[in-house]
Amino acid sequence: MILTVTLNTALDITYRVRSLRPHASHRVSDVIERPGGKGVNVARVLAALGHEVTVTGFAGGATGRAVRDRLAGTPGVTDALVPVTGATRRTIAVVDELSGDTTQLNEPGPHISPTEWGAFLDRYEELLPSASAVALSGSLPPGVPVGAYAGLIRTARTLGVPVLLDTSGEPLRRGVAARPDIIKPNSDELAELTGSHEPLRATQDARRRGAHAVIASLGPEGLLAVTPEGRWRAAPPAHVHGNPTGAGDSAVAGLLSGLVEHLPWPDRLARAIALSAATVRAPAAGEFDRAAYEELRGRVAVTGVVSAA
């Protein structure tokens, strides 16, 4: 079983409009709702790849009930979310059909009380012994300690369970110091962490700060990986147009599935890139286009990196 942690779950709502214009009314041509939050997206993709996944984190209010109802219909995904008093947030993605651009609106999460945080820690420690790997993904809702991910990483390490961390800001900085097996920052998050805007130098610096392997997301340019086994760049065969919401989460699913399947790093990276690109092509946030994935995964270019020069 793979465990995904989403402390700030969401109900993802995708609106499609013909053309998004400021100060105008819009007729929505299509509405799609999915359970969301980064770790939930990761879980859904892992399940589609054939892995058994357990989702934990928080869910509350009518939105939380909607998230749980939709998770119940997802084959391969087990709901281990902890109930809270506050309402789970919504995220709104508005897709402009003419330009292909997406505008994202993210609500804040519910305030988590000390009692609710304690209940989550108990649930996490119950689930860990059965986990082959853990993904810690996304932002922290109000009330959760800023060092929460660092503590969760240390707990997993005591049981020998590998951890992938995908977050930003101070939670990332503290989490890296706890020595996760993999981190997956984007270029902005990496620059904020290290102070360097040169991708390879920043990625190497992030690894020196404690991460076992650093996989940097460089947007349309793909992924840059610095690992104990080597350094690689992986890129999609062509620029992909569509909705990028959830593309990074699909890359995490590719990396995590490759970890538990003991794939070599180039194969993990190729899978991550193909899944990410197939997610951009999908009509709804947090989904991936299966046909696009099958077509792309054999065409991803993975090359070794020699130096920072």
- Amino acid identity of residue 293, one-letter, is Y
Partner residues linked to 89 by β-bridges: 10
Considering only CA atoms, give the Rg of the chain: 18
**DSSP secondary structure, 209-253, as one string:** TT-SEEEEE-GGG-EEEEETTEEEEEE-SS---S--TTHHHHHHH
Q: For residue 208, how many other CB atoms are within 10 A of its CB?
A: 11
Q: How far is CA 67 from CA 11, 78, 90, 144, 247, in A?
A: 6, 13, 10, 21, 20
Residue 113, both tokens = 């009380």
**What is the spatial distance between Cα 136 and Cα 173, in angstroms, rounded to a whole number?**
14
Contacts of residue 25, defined as CB under 8 A and 6 or more positions apart, other chains included, come to: none
Out of 79, 249, 267, 289, the active site residue is: 249
Task: Find out whether 136 and 5 touch, Cβ atoms under 8 Å.
Answer: yes
Residue 205 appears among annotated catalytic residues: no
Q: Which residues are catalytic?
A: 249
